[in-house]
Amino acid sequence: MNAVEVRNLRKVYGTKVAVNDISFDVRVGEVFGMVGPNGAGKTTTIECIEGLRRPTSGTVRVLGMDPVHERNALQQRVGIQLQQSALQKRLKVKEALQLFSDLYSNPAPWQPIAERLGLSASLNTHFGDLSGGQRQRLNIALALIPNPEIVFFDELTTGLDPQSRRAMWELVQDLRREGKTVFLTTHLMDEAEKLCDRVAIIDHGDIVALDTPQNLISTVDVETRVLVTVPEEAVAEALARVRAVPHAIRAESKGSEIVVHGSGDALPVEVVNALWEAGIQFASLKVERPTLEDVFLKLTGRTIRS
C-alpha cells in the first residue's frame, strides 16, 4: 500500500493556479521530498494532503483515508509541521508538549523528543520568547508527539543554523530507519538530494520530474568536472593526457589549471591516473559533480533562486 496517493490534484485561488493537475504516490517507509522555488505550490500540495486545504479538484488518500472527511481518524496517525504556525505566546514549551501529548491516544513520551530537538534547556520558556529556530524545532517536536506513521515537514530546516540543520537531517534519517514515512518540502536542493529516496521537482504548480536523486541527476546528462592545477610547463602534455581518458568529453586550461569535462564516477580516477602515469605533479584536485541544482536548471532554464 502507498502511504499517500495523489490523483489529478488541482488547487486554484481565485484566478491563480497554485497546483495544476499533479499525480504521484508516496510509498510506505520512504523519505519523499517535494522541491521547488518560492511559490511553486509546495505548501498548497502538502496542506491538501494534510487535509488542511481543500483541493479544487482531484483526490488525495493518506493511509487509504480521505484527509478532509476522515480527519479525526487520520490525526492519530500522522504528524504535521507547518511552514507557518504560532502557538499562544504565554504557553511554555513544556506545556505545549504536554498539551499535544494529551491530544493523542498513543503519544510518544515528549521528554526524549524535547531532548532530541535541543529544547531541554528551554522547557520553561514562553513560546513568545523563543527564537525563530527554537520555534521551528518546537514545531518539529510537536509533529513527532503523536508517534506518527507518516510525518509531514513543510520546510524542515528553513531558519535553522547549520548545526541544527544537520541535526534535523539526522533526525529524518533516524525516522526512516524506524520505518516511518516522511514527506518533506524544501527549496534546498542539497537537502533533498541528501535526505530523499525520491524527489518530485515542482515548478509553477507542475511536477516537472519525479525520481530518485541519482536517476534525476543521471537522466539530465549534466557533466562531472575535474579541476587540477599542474606546473606551467606541463600544461600542454597534461591536456593531451586527460583528453585521452575514456570518460573525458573535453578539457581546457586556464593558466595552470586544467578543467576536464566528462561523465560518470570513474572520471576523477582516470584523470588522476593519467597524470600520475605521465609523471606530472598536480595539486588542488577538485571534483564538481552534477547536483539536483543542475537538474532544476536543465529542466526549467532557471536557477532555483531566481
Ligand X SMILES: Nc1ncnc2c1ncn2[C@@H]1O[C@H](COP(=O)(O)OP(=O)(O)OP(=O)(O)O)[C@@H](O)[C@H]1O
Among 9, 33, 43, 151, interactor with Mg ion by CB under 5 A: 43
| Cβ 242 vs Cβ 258: under 8 Å | yes
Instruction: Produce one character per residue of 219-242: b if its CB has 16 or more CB atoms within 10 Å, e if not.
Output: ebebbbbbebbbeeebbeebbebb
- In this complex, which beta carbon is closest to ligand X, that of residue 48 or of residue 150? 48
| Nearest-angstrom CA–CA distance, 148 and 175 | 10
CB of 253 to Mg ion, least distance (A): 44
Min dist CB 150 to ligand X, Å, is 19
Considering only residues 172 to 211 of the shown chain, the ones binding ligand X according to CB under 6 A are: 187
Point out which span in 24-32, 35-43, 101-109, 268-276 binds ligand X (CB under 6 A).
35-43
> How far is it, in rounded angstroms, from Cα 286 to Cα 147?
44
CB-nearer residue toward Mg ion: 42 or 241: 42
**Is 299 in contact with 208 (CB distance < 8 Å)?**
yes
- Name the grid cell of 110: 515528549
Report the partner that residue 64 touches, choosing among ligand X, Mg ion, none (CB closer than 5 to 8 A by kind): none
Determine the Cα–Cα distance for residues 80 and 74; give it in Å rounded to an integer: 11
Answer for which of 40, 172, 210, 245 binds ligand X (CB under 6 A) is 40
Binds ligand X (CB under 6 A): choice among 2, 75, 76, 83: 83
Nearer to ligand X, 186 or 229 (CB): 186
Q: What is the CA radius of gyration of the chain?
A: 24
- Residue 9 φ/ψ, nearest 5 degrees: -70, 130
Burial of 144 (0-12, 13-18, 19+ CB in 10 A): buried
18 binds, among ligand X, Mg ion, none (CB under 5 to 8 A by kind): ligand X
Tell me: does residue 305 bind ligand X (CB under 6 A). Answer: no
Rule CB under 5 A: is residue 122 a binding residue for Mg ion?
no
| Minimum distance from residue 43 beta carbon to Mg ion (Å) | 3
Question: Shortest approach of ligand X to residue 200 CB, angstroms?
Answer: 12
Minimum CB–partner distance for residue 54 and ligand X (Å): 11
* 18 part of the interface to ligand X, by CB under 6 A: yes
Determine contact, residues 17/10, Cβ cutoff 8 Å.
yes
Contact 36, 199 (CB under 8 A): no
The window from 39-47, 92-100, 112-120, 249-257 that contacts ligand X (CB under 6 A) reads 39-47
Single out the residue of 42, 61, 180, 247 in contact with ligand X (rule: CB under 6 A).
42
- Give the CB-nearest residue to Mg ion: 43
| One residue of 22, 24, 36, 60 binding ligand X per CB under 6 A | 36
C-alpha distance from residue 306 to each of 36, 41, 45, 67, 208 (Å): 11, 16, 22, 34, 17
Q: Contact region for ligand X (CB under 6 A) — 38-46, 144-152, 214-222, 250-258?
A: 38-46
Query: What is the rounded (10 degree) CA torsion for 106, 4, 208, 176?
Result: 40
Closest approach, Cβ 135 to Mg ion, in A, equals 16
Q: How far apart are CA 225 and CA 122, in angstroms?
A: 46
Which stretches of the chain bind Mg ion, using CB under 5 A? 42-43, 83
Which stretches of the chain bind ligand X, using CB under 6 A? 13, 16, 18, 36, 38-44, 83, 187
